[in-house]
Structure 1
Amino acid sequence: MEKRATIKDVAEAAGVGVATVSRVLSGGSASASTRERVLAVAAQLDYRPSALGRNLRQRRTGGLGLLVPDLTDTFYGQLSEGVLACARSSGEPVVMGSTGGDPEQEAELIGMLLEQSVDRVIAVPSGDAETWAPAVRAGMTVVFADRLPPEAVREEEHDRDPAEHALDDLLLLDGLAARPRVPESAARPLDVPAVLADDRAGIRTAVRYLRGLGHRRIAFLGGPGHDRRAAAFREAVGAPVDEELVVFGTGSRDSAYAAASGLFQSRPDLSAVVAGGNVLGEAAVLAARELDLRVPKDVSLVMYDDVPWAELCAPPLTVIAQPGRDMGYRACELVLREGTRRARSVVLPTELIIRGSCGPRR
């Protein structure tokens, strides 16, 4: 029996990404030449776009999907445990996938889930709103966890600082009105609920704690998906923000280590670091050790995420704990509930757990 063409086959033959094929076939934005090329290839390969959700509800086979950037990350393991526990209690099987933080790989996995008639998905998104819009239009019930997809930049906003977008989102999550820069007609295009931790309160509490210890040159070490945490950090330290002390890695452990090491070496005057996730916290610990920086005598460390190894460090790490398992459980409850796309997002509290990695500025 001849193998049926997939959305990935169409993308490779057309020389475009899977996300582009998905947008074209679902009526989304694309240039005329790209649209014509994709449609021609799809016809040539006799691609039947079941991934676009034709009669998706009627063909539902049960189960739900779970997409995370990295299955080896301890936090995402905790989140996955929560999803699995809730799904198990409801008798729903779970199809898991790792996106590697790559929007194209994420789009491919979304297409695969839809082709398998999995119409409910929990995701820690890597792609932007355009990556997810075709799935939502197809009738897929989506709940985001841990973070929201970045918005595509509108023409009139090219000159805006990305931190301003993230800060507006933080204000909205805290129940406050965003600053009146964007007209109401430019609202978020995806009506998708999310289960998030209160990044703003967590980062703010950590920075206040370090300030209370006398630290003034505090750095933030971030990675993919940490835009809101970086915005919360900038807000907490106040203007003017020393942007040399806000550093991002690309997501891998090697990149996180390079970012931490470069930060320590380029700014020997810094006295404290807030790491935006456990991979970055691990990198900061290793880089400090390699550079003979004593914790907390030479540099104080606060890590976002409480993971088992944090207590085993010497000294144990002060952390901003977020309820990963609860986040996954609540996201699963939302995605299994009818009318989920009309549900409000859930913001869960964080907690600063003080251990031994922070000390007074000497």
Structure 2
Amino acid sequence: MRKIAVVAAGGTGGHLFPAQALAETLIARGWRIVLASDERVAAFAESFPAEERIGLSARTFRPGDPLGMAAAGLAMVQGVMQARSAFRRIGPDVVVGFGGYPSVPGLLAGITMGLPTVIHEQNAVMGRANRRLANHVRTIACAFPRLQKAPPKAAARAVVVGNPVRREIGELADKPYLPPEPEGTLRVLVTGGSQGARLLSELVPEAIRALPEGLRVRLRVQQQTRKESMDVARRIYADAMVEAEIAPFFRDMATRLRQAHLVIGRSGAGTVCEFAIAGRPSILVPLAIALDDDQGQNAQVMADAGGAVIARENQLTVESMANALEKLLTNPDRLARMSVGARSISRPDAAERLADLVEQTAQGRPAR
């Protein structure tokens, strides 16, 4: 009979995308997949390759909110009992968690039932859910060599596997980066606007308009932009004589990444790993309100490797973004070096590495 892996994930695409990449890899190896998440995610994750989806009670709370904490605790207890009941019926061989509060009931059920358990941390800073469970699971996998705020014993046994990415992104690993030709077209890709990055939606067009005309006329910009900012962005680019494609979402991101000379975006774990695998130089703008500055630390890993320039929100202006763009776009040799730096931290086989760890854990073998 085929082995069964319960994948406990949810909350955001940052958790679900690597979970889906692992699921697809395990399915190719003959495994059966069950998705365990909160009721909301289990209902809408129709594209997740699971033969069964289990909706579990789970909720988060704000620190300092005693009523919220009590409600979250009750929901978590209910979710664990639901998961234990489902696991007795399913008989999973391993439970794999990807962080976020929706993953906690499934992982706690696996831990209390003595099942083999694995957590994967996507960020350079261990998230709060994983942090609380790290000392109780059998195997810990992480995306970056740097893993901050993890319990010391957990950090010492963490195995660096990388961050599993979508198959089409992984295929960019062996595609060469071609820096712009002198006086040739300059292709800039701006991501993240559809996910609430108002700053990028509104500031980047203004910064590009501030560039010298000789540079602007060479630009081809593709920008994900908030719907309410699209008309303004189009007018700014038209006024600046810049050819631009504006949309709230790009489905063919792999193709656009491959064509880009420079990318601008937030620094969530998935974004950083995708830029690294594609070997694309980047300007990263960490989300200032991110818990534990996880986006800032993700960006720092890329910057330390020479693959990115970091633009902190509290220091970012139209002028500073324009200066950063001009320095990079007029220096193709630096862009080429940044591409090499970005690729130096990439692990395009992360899904396979993580699948290996999951199988080792399910078999009771020590993680390698």
Q: TM-score range by the shorter chain?
A: 0.3 to 0.5
- Provide the TM-score with structure 2 as the length reference: 0.37
Q: Larger % of helix: which?
A: 2
